């Protein structure tokens, strides 16, 4: 599947994003669809985002080894939650792909260095 910046940019609504990622994952024989984790209209800390909490729990249970998301801003609403979550996932061998930024956290050392 060929994904362009333009096609990613057209994923405005949560419904469109959900359909896009479900189809993308199901179309790739190397992937196993483990669900969509979203927190529509919910802002705040990780504890107040049930979708993020459920995704992290599945990852810790070994049920997820790669998370694909549209962008950094869709994954976490603030830098602290982003870094904590990504570091926690990296320790257990779970990567996060941020499509808009072209980042795979298992290969992006800058996110894990000493700040």
Q: Answer whether 64's CB lies under 8 Å from 55's CB.
A: yes
Residue 36 CA, chain-centre distance (Å), reads 10
Q: What is the mean pLDDT of the chain?
A: 79
Residue with the bigger pLDDT between 88 and 14: it is 88
CB 55 within 8 A of CB 38: no
| Beta strand segments in the chain, E | 66-69, 95-98, 103-104
What residue segments make up the domains of the chain, in order of their start?
Answer: 5-111
Return the CATH number of the domain spanning residue range 5-111.
Answer: 3.40.50.1390
Q: Is the pLDDT of residue 46 over 60?
A: no
Whether residue 77 contacts residue 42, with contact meaning beta carbons closer than 8 Å, is answered with: no
Separation of alpha carbons 17 and 114, rounded Å: 33
Residue 5 reports pLDDT greater than 50:
no
* pLDDT per position as a tens digit, 48-63: 688 888 999 999 999 9
């Amino acid at each position: 599947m060929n994904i362009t910046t333009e096609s990613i940019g057209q994923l405005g609504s949560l419904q469109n994003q959900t359909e896009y990622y479900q189809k993308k994952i199901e179309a790739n024989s190397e992937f196993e669809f483990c669900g969509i984790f979203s927190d529509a209209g919910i802002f705040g800390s990780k504890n107040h985002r049930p979708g993020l909490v459920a995704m992290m729990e599945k990852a810790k249970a070994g049920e997820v080894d790669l998370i694909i998301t549209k962008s950094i801003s869709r994954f976490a609403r603030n830098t602290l939650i982003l870094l904590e979550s990504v570091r926690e996932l990296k320790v257990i061998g779970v990567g996060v792909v941020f499509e808009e930024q072209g980042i795979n956290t298992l290969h992006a050392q800058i996110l894990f260095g000493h700040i």
